[in-house]
Amino acid sequence: MIQNEERSLGDLFAELSRETTTLVRQEVALAKTELSTKASKVGKDVAFIGAGAAVAYAGFLAIVAAIIIILAALIPWWLSALIVGAIVAGIGYFLIQTGLQALRRTELAPRETIETIKDNAQWAREQTR
């Protein structure tokens, strides 16, 4: 017995609807994964900023410690404190700038997902012609 291989238009649209729903769910899962990866990178960049802020604070403490402890021998006390504080603060500034530059370069949009959604939309348009 030969089965009729032709399907009705309603069956074809029902299948297209199911496949489109599955495709959208998969795209949402891909977007979640991509955004999670990007959020992890942003978290690392924010850690650089935090480390830079901590080092800058240590620079402030070094200035205070230099005023209290290190001075009075070779150069005036204020100059010694200024030099130590400037070096530590410079390191802190470098760390903060490194983190900020990395954040500026990070693209948060899920580019792969956007491209596949465009491809899928094109495919769906072609299927309905």
What per-residue confidence (pLDDT) applies to 83?
A: 80
Residue 60 lies in a domain: yes
What per-residue confidence (pLDDT) applies to 1?
A: 43
Residue 63 lies in a domain: yes
Count of structural domains, the chain: 1
**pLDDT tier at 54 (50, 70, 90 boundaries)?**
very high
Residue 27 lies in a domain: no
Residue 83 lies in a domain: yes
How confident is the model over 77-93, as a mean pLDDT? 82
C-alpha span between 117 and 96 (Å, rounded): 37
What per-residue confidence (pLDDT) applies to 2?
A: 46
**Residue 3 scores a pLDDT above 60:** no
Residue 8 lies in a domain: no
**What is the span of the domain harbouring residue 48?**
42-112
- What is the rounded average pLDDT for all residues in the chain? 81
How confident is the model over 11-17, as a mean pLDDT? 82
